[in-house]
Every structure is written in structure tokens, then in C-alpha cells.
């Protein structure tokens, strides 16, 4: 069995980075982060059999700071690209393959927010690719986003809209590509890390290695934890209760409640007093619905969920 590329998807603060760290600690897997090749560049520069279009595409790619982290060699990429099909999947793959080669690993992967919206395109263009889709309680995703950017206007609405879309795509892609898509919930990963990683390794056709759990190859953790001890923790599950207001949690639960229940995230009774209910229904609810609709309009180019 050929072991193809690995993609990690999901919305912001959903656990993608933890999964990338763990897979990066596998001796066979080289993971990159947020190159956005498929979401930002696929198909944008015309037919790549044209030298002018190929040059334009490479110029744009090499301007991206995330792509530059792959240390691409433009001359080598052009030379090897001309020896095969002139398509975007090939030029993207060459960049990743060369980077994995530099790291001394045979298999490459990439963590990209909302790559699940491109699942049909990616999995068709790369027949051996597999997708791990991270899902986390949307209230905790929102709380984590707000802690990173306190009181960011519209975060509750945009996180809710993105989460609902991503959750529906997780179900849809899992049904459409059962052998090539794996949905992993953040809560399961941090509560049962070894079991979850073993499942992920089985899905990817790789052997499980204890180094994946200890994150020994990730410099930021090497000195902060005891040898062989995992730095991951379940302490942040349910942390939204200390961050979100009742009105913020209420919007998420009403907007994405159906998708939450599909993944086992129970909605909670929120005892809002009279003034809170008044503000929620007359101000929060309509304003956040407009913000969510605006996010959906910006994301209008994303595939519809059928």
C-alpha cells in the first residue's frame, strides 16, 4: 500500500496543531503548517503547461511566508514539474516532497484550516491522500479564540458559522470517503491520547510510536516536560464556562445546536435573567446572525454541503 500525503483540517483552535505535533513526532512523517496551497492558490494562475503561467504561479507561491518555510528550490521544482503532468496537485506535492526529503522523512503532510472544504478536489487530485478532520466543542473553540484576541468583535458569530459548516463537512466527507477521511474529536484526543493516536496510525497505515505522545521531537516541549511524559492535558475541556458570557454561549448553542448534538456536545440550560434575555433577542441574536451571514458570503466560494 502506497502511503500518500496527510492533511489535517478543521476550524481554528480545534486541535489541529496538537495532531500535527504528534504526527510530526513520527519517524516517517513530515508535517508542515498552514501553507494554504490548496485553499489560496489552486487553479488561480491558469494552465500550468504555459511557461508564463508556471512562472506566475511560482512567483506567487514563493512570496508566501508559509510556503517559504518549506525552503523550496524554484529551479528544481520547475525542472521536475516539466517531467510530469502540468497540474496544481503536482507542483504543490513537489514542494512538500522536497521539504520532507530535507527532513529525512519519506511521507509529507500539511495542516490547513478548513481544508475539508476542498476535500473533493484534494482527494481526487491526490488518490493516495488522507484527511484527518479535527472537531472540538464550538464553545471551547470560541473561548480559545477570545482568549487569544480578547473581545474580538464578531468572534462568536464567525466561529459559529465556520464550526457549523466544518461539522457538516466532517459528516459528509466521512460518508463520501470512508477509507480516506477520519474525524477526530479534540476531547477524545486529550482524554485518550494513545488510543486515539493508535487509531490514527491504523488509518494512515503507519506503526504507532511512543514518541508521538511524548512529543520528544518538538523543541518547545522537550525541556518543559519530563522524558516520555506527554504535555497534552484535558484541563481545557469545558473551559468556555469561565470565558463566555451566558449570551455568547446561548448564541452558539442555538445557531449550531443540531451539529453539536450530532457530535455529542450537549447544550446546557443557560439561566439568563430578564435584562439578559432582552438584550440577547433584541441585540445579540440579530447582530450575530448578520455577522454569520457575512462570513458565509465571504466563504461563498467554498463548496456547498449536500
DSSP SS3 for 8: strand
Q: How many CB atoms are located within 10 Å of the residue 193 CB? A: 18
DSSP 269-291: -----HHHHHHIIIIIHHHHHHH
Would you say 81 and 90 are in contact if contact means Cβ atoms under 8 Å apart? yes
The mean pLDDT of the chain is 92
pLDDT for residue 201 is more than 90: yes
pLDDT for residue 150 is more than 80: no
What is the per-residue pLDDT for 304? 46
What is the per-residue pLDDT for 226? 59
- Integer angstrom CA distances of residue 75 from 86, 94, 280: 16, 12, 58
Burial class (CB in 10 A: 0-12, 13-18, 19+), 22: buried
What is the per-residue pLDDT for 218? 73
pLDDT for residue 306 is more than 50: no
pLDDT band at 159 (very low <50, low <70, confident <90, very high): very high
pLDDT band at 232 (very low <50, low <70, confident <90, very high): confident
Residues 172-198: pLDDT tens digits? 999 999 999 999 999 999 999 999 999
The residue-averaged pLDDT of 273-299 equals 94
What is the per-residue pLDDT for 88? 97
What is the per-residue pLDDT for 222? 54
Instruction: Please report how many Cα atoms fall inside a 13 Å half-sphere around the Cα of residue 250, on the Cβ side.
Output: 18
pLDDT for residue 143 is more than 80: yes
d(CA 194, CA 17): 17
The residue-averaged pLDDT of 44-71 equals 95
Of the candidates 236, 185, 184, 229, the one whose C-alpha atom is nearest the C-alpha of residue 210 is: 229
pLDDT band at 228 (very low <50, low <70, confident <90, very high): low
Q: Which of 11-15, 189-193, 233-237, 255-259 has the lowest mean pLDDT?
A: 233-237
d(CA 150, CA 142): 11
What is the per-residue pLDDT for 196? 98
pLDDT for residue 158 is more than 90: yes
What is the per-residue pLDDT for 215? 84
The residue-averaged pLDDT of 149-172 equals 88
Would you say 51 and 242 are in contact if contact means Cβ atoms under 8 Å apart? no
Burial class (CB in 10 A: 0-12, 13-18, 19+), 212: buried
The residue-averaged pLDDT of 269-297 equals 95
Residues 92-141: pLDDT tens digits? 999 999 999 999 999 999 999 999 999 999 999 999 999 999 999 999 99
The residue-averaged pLDDT of 280-289 equals 96
The residue-averaged pLDDT of 145-174 equals 88
Of the candidates 34, 100, 20, 94, the one whose C-alpha atom is nearest the C-alpha of residue 66 is: 34
d(CA 133, CA 131): 6
pLDDT for residue 225 is more than 70: no
Structural domains in the chain plus CATH codes? 6-28+106-298 (3.40.50.300)
What is the per-residue pLDDT for 276? 96
DSSP SS3 for 133: strand
Q: Which three cell numbers stand for residue 200?
A: 490514527
The residue-averaged pLDDT of 236-255 equals 96
pLDDT for residue 199 is more than 80: yes
Q: Which residues contact 106 (CB under 8 A, 6 or more apart)?
A: 3, 28, 100
The residue-averaged pLDDT of 88-95 equals 97
Amino acid at each position: 500500500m502506497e502511503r500518500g500525503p496527510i492533511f489535517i483540517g478543521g476550524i481554528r483552535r480545534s486541535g489541529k496543531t496538537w495532531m500535527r505535533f504528534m504526527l510530526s513526532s513520527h519517524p516517517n512523517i513530515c508535517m508542515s503548517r498552514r501553507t494554504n496551497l490548496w485553499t489560496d492558490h489552486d487553479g488561480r494562475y491558469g494552465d500550468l503547461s504555459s511557461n508564463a503561467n508556471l512562472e506566475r504561479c511560482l512567483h506567487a507561491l514563493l512570496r508566501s511566508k508559509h510556503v517559504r518555510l518549506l525552503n523550496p528550490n524554484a529551479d528544481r521544482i520547475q525542472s521536475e514539474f516539466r517531467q510530469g503532468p502540468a497540474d496544481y496537485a503536482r507542483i504543490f506535492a513537489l514542494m512538500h516532497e522536497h521539504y520532507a526529503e530535507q527532513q529525512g522523512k519519506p511521507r509529507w503532510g500539511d495542516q490547513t484550516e478548513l481544508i475539508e472544504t476542498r476535500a473533493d478536489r484534494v482527494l481526487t487530485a491526490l488518490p493516495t491522500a488522507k484527511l484527518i478532520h479535527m472537531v472540538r466543542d464550538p464553545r471551547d473553540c470560541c473561548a480559545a479564540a477570545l482568549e487569544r484576541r480578547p473581545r474580538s468583535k464578531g468572534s462568536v458569530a464567525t466561529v459559529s458559522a465556520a464550526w457549523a459548516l466544518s461539522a457538516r463537512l466532517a459528516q459528509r466527507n466521512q460518508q463520501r470517503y470512508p477509507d480516506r477521511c477520519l474525524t477526530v474529536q479534540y476531547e477524545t484526543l486529550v482524554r485518550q491520547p494513545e488510543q486515539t493516536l493508535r487509531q490514527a496510525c491504523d488509518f494512515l497505515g503507519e506503526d504507532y510510536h511512543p514518541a508521538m505522545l511524548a512529543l520528544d521531537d518538538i523543541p518547545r516541549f522537550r525541556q518543559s516536560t519530563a522524558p516520555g511524559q506527554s504535555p497534552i492535558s484535558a484541563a481545557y475541556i469545558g473551559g468556555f464556562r469561565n470565558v463566555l458570557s451566558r449570551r455568547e454561549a446561548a448564541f452558539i448553542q442555538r445557531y449550531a445546536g443540531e451539529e453539536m448534538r450530532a457530535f455529542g456536545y450537549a447544550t446546557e440550560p443557560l439561566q439568563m435573567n430578564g435584562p439578559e434575555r432582552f438584550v440577547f433577542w433584541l441585540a445579540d441574536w440579530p447582530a450575530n446572525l448578520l455577522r454569520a451571514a457575512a462570513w458565509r458570503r465571504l466563504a461563498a466560494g467554498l463548496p456547498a454541503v449536500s
